[in-house]
Each structure stands twice: as C-alpha cells, then as structure tokens.
Amino acid sequence: MQFRDLQRQYNLLKPRMDQALVEVAASGRYIMGDKVVELERKLADYVGVEHCISCASGTDALYLALRVMGVGAGDAVFVPDFTFFASAEVVSLVGATPVFVDVEEETFNISPDDLERKIKQLPSGLSPKVVMAVDLFGLPANYPAVCAIAQRYGLLVLEDGAQGFGGSINGKKACSFGDVATTSFFPSKPLGCYGDGGAIFTDNGEWAEKARSLRQHGKGADKYSNIAIGVNSRLDAIQAAILLVKLEVFDRELALVGRHAAKFASLMGEKTKAPRTPEGYCSAWAQYTIRCKDEAEREAIRERMAEKGIPTMVYYPTPLHALPVYAQDKAFPVATQLSRTVLSLPMHPYLTDDEIELIASTL
Ligand SMILES: *Cc1c(COP(=O)(O)O)cnc(C)c1O
C-alpha cells in the first residue's frame, strides 16, 4: 500500500496526461508560456479571486507573498507552532520575526485566543504586521475569527493553503481567504504536479503585478529593465500542462477523499480524534491524521501497521518553537501534545474500500 498513491492517479489519467506531456515537449516552449497563463486563469476562477501568480514552489509563493506585503526586518509575523517548517522559514528569510501561536486541539489550526494573546504580549521593538494561518492537513483555518482579530489590530492576513487547496468555508474556497493566499503543487499536496510548483492568489492588482515582477528577477516593463531585487521562481510549462489535466478531475477527487474520510470515521469511531470539521467547513483531506494516547502507543500502532504493509507518517514530530533554529523556551501545550501523539494514515482519492477496511481493522 502507498501512503499517497500517485501512480494509480497517473494510470487513470494516462491517455490525456501523455498527450499533454508530449505536446509541451513538441512545443519548444518550456518555461511559462500559454499553458501557464491558462492555468493561472483557471486557478483564479476556481478559487474565486482576481489574480493567480504561479511560481516555482509553495515556499517561494510564501516568500513572494511576504515580499509584496512589504514584510521585513522589525516586523512580526504570527505563525502557528504546528505546521511545516517552510511557513516560518520564509518569515526569517525576509528578515522578519516569526511569533509562534499555539493551535486548537480540535482542528489542529491556529488558535484565535492564543493569537490575540500573542499580539497583546508582543515584545517592544517588533511591529505586528501579518497573521499567517495554515490550512493544516486540508482543513481551512478559522478565517472568520482570524480576520476579525487581524482587522482589530490592523494586521494583514496571509493564508498558507499549501495543504488546503480544494477546501472551503460555507462555499468560499481555500486560497481566497485573507489579503494574500498561497498554495503548493508539490506532488503529494491535494493538487500536485510532477515536480515543484506553487501559486499566489490575491484580489490586489498592485500586489499581483509586484509578484509577477519579483518571480522573474524583479523585471520592469521588459525583462532587462529590472526594478527590484527578485528571484528566479517561474513555473515550467510541463507542470502547468500536468496541472491542467489534474484540475479537470480535481472535484471528483475531492468528493472521493471526503467519502474516504467519512468511512474512516465510521469504522474507527470517535476515539481516533481526527481533526473535527466545523459546521460549514469542507476539508481537502491532504492528510488523515489521528491522535494516539501517547508516544508509546503511537510507536506500537506504527509497528503493527508496518507489519501489515500500511505506511504511516508523523506530521510533525517537533513543534516549530522547539526546532534547533528557533529553540524558544516557551510553552505551547497543544502543539507539543499533538507533535507527540499525531499519526497520519494513508489518504488519497484512489484508496480502495479493502485498503480502508484493512487500515481501520489494524488500528
Ligand atoms: C508543503 C508546504 C509548504 C511548502 O511547499 P513546497 O511546494 O514544498 O515548497 C508550505 N507550507 C505548508 C503548510 C506545506 O505543507
């Protein structure tokens, strides 16, 4: 069994995918171009925002988003303590300071209560600038609460939707929340390509233009009139072609993972404590993550699963504040507890009923 079976997806899409790949090879245009323009238009429409700017990875998308918002030295960016490293890494990369916020036990996402506490307790010398909320494991963060707090304190909101693409709150799609949103097309994300890729979403035309410039060496009116210090972070035509094929079946895949999650819940019951999907929310189920009693139980479950050929993963074994590069001696009780007890099970659209039943009965 695969943790996320990308070959099954390819086998299903093979005729269309092979044609798309060969078309790009034959076109002689390999970086950006028509396919990328078409993809950006379709993604913006899908999400329901004005502008989509593709780039080379989800990490670059976050970096570019912080740059267009003008985040730099002396600025504080509030980041959940329980997420993938890149969420905080880019904050440090632009010279700003990540201020970690604990997460909610029920959803694993940024805690609005702790966010407000951390804003109020901000050390002097840092100016509060951005709240970065992460749609962890596919579930959109509590944007109604996060955006209300941000507004009260004059902060911008950045949605890290790397795992959230496809999710929604009352029909409003992930990657449309806050002032800027980003996603990743890393192969194992809900919408993945066959390499690295990412995108930025915003309704702000000025920021969109700035992101387009920064992703291409800070280009001006033309390629060689540089107006800013940027980066080389473009999407390849071949990745855009792959994503266009996958986008056609994406809603069907979302329905499948939703069905699998419901089946897991009904077979394994409440005691697994997967994140609760609040009323009106829809998760993209990038991961199906349960909570064990403690580390010893988690190890025992992992071993038993491995004996049956079921791969499992621990996302994430260390909360960000405790990583050597940040090493903060502060209390983040929920993130710390989650890092010791979470266990992610195989989850993807093409799991079979037999596989789901084997995973559940093994647990
Ligand atoms: C994967 C991921 C990223 C980074 O995306 P890449 O495309 O791998 O650079 C950022 N944030 C979160 C929450 C992620 O899961």
pLDDT in tens, 123-152: 999 999 999 999 999 999 999 999 999 999
Average pLDDT, the chain: 97
Does the pLDDT at position 314 exceed 90?
yes
Ligand 1 site: residues with CB under 6 angstroms? 57-59, 83-84, 86-87, 134, 160, 162-163, 184, 186, 196, 198
Residue in 4, 55, 59 to alter for ligand 1 test, most ligand atoms within 8 A of Cβ: 59
Whole-number Cα distances in Å, 24 to 32, 198, 239: 11, 19, 10
Q: In a mutational test of the pocket of ligand 1, which residue from 85, 90, 110, 184 has the highest number of ligand atoms less than 8 Å from its CB?
A: 184
Angle at 112 between CA 316 and CA 170, to 5 degrees: 90
Q: What is the mean pLDDT of residues 314-339?
A: 96
* pLDDT beyond 80 at 270: no
CB count within 10 Å of CB 130 equals 24
- Section 154-159 average pLDDT: 98
Whole-number Å distance, alpha carbon 40 to ligand 1 midpoint, is: 19
Is residue 164 within 8 A of residue 107, CB to CB? The reply is no
Atom index in ligand 1 nearest the CA of residue 198 equals: 7
CA of 86 to the centre of ligand 1 (A): 6
Which ligand 1 atom sits closest to the C-alpha of 60?
A: 9
Contact by Cβ (8 Å): 85, 320:
yes
| SS3 category, 179 | coil
User: Is residue 223's pLDDT more than 90?
Assistant: no
State how far the Cα of 360 lies from the Cα of 346, in Å rounded to an integer.
11
C-alpha to C-alpha distance for 270 and 256, rounded to whole angstroms:
21
Which of 109, 163, 182, 188 for mutating ligand 1's site (highest number of atoms within 8 Å of CB)? 163
Q: Residue 37: is its pLDDT beyond 90?
A: yes
| Distance between CA atoms of residues 230 and 169, nearest Å | 34
SS3 of 32, please? coil
Q: Give the CA distances from residue 148 to residues 49, 143, 151, 154, in Å, rounded to whole numbers and listed in that order.
A: 20, 8, 5, 10
Of all protein residues, the one whose alpha carbon is nearest to atom 7 of ligand 1 is 58
Q: How far is the CA of 73 from the centre of ligand 1 (A)?
A: 23
**Distance from Cα 222 to the centre of ligand 1, integer Å:** 31
pLDDT per position as a tens digit, 58-108: 999 999 999 999 999 999 999 999 999 999 999 999 999 999 999 999 999
Determine contact, residues 35/24, Cβ cutoff 8 Å: yes
Asked whether residue 271 carries a pLDDT value surpassing 80, the answer given is no
Helix axis angle, 205-214 to 58-68, nearest 10°:
120
User: What does the pLDDT read at residue 272?
Assistant: 82
Which atom, in ligand 1's list, is nearest to the CA of 135? 13
Q: Which atom of ligand 1 is nearest to the CA of 57?
A: 7
User: Which tokens is 207 given?
Assistant: 């920021």
Helix orientation angle between 112-120 and 143-153, rounded to the nearest 10 degrees: 20
Ligand 1 centroid to Cα of residue 123, in Å, is 28
List beta partners, residue 112: none
Q: In terms of pTM, does the model score above 0.95?
A: yes
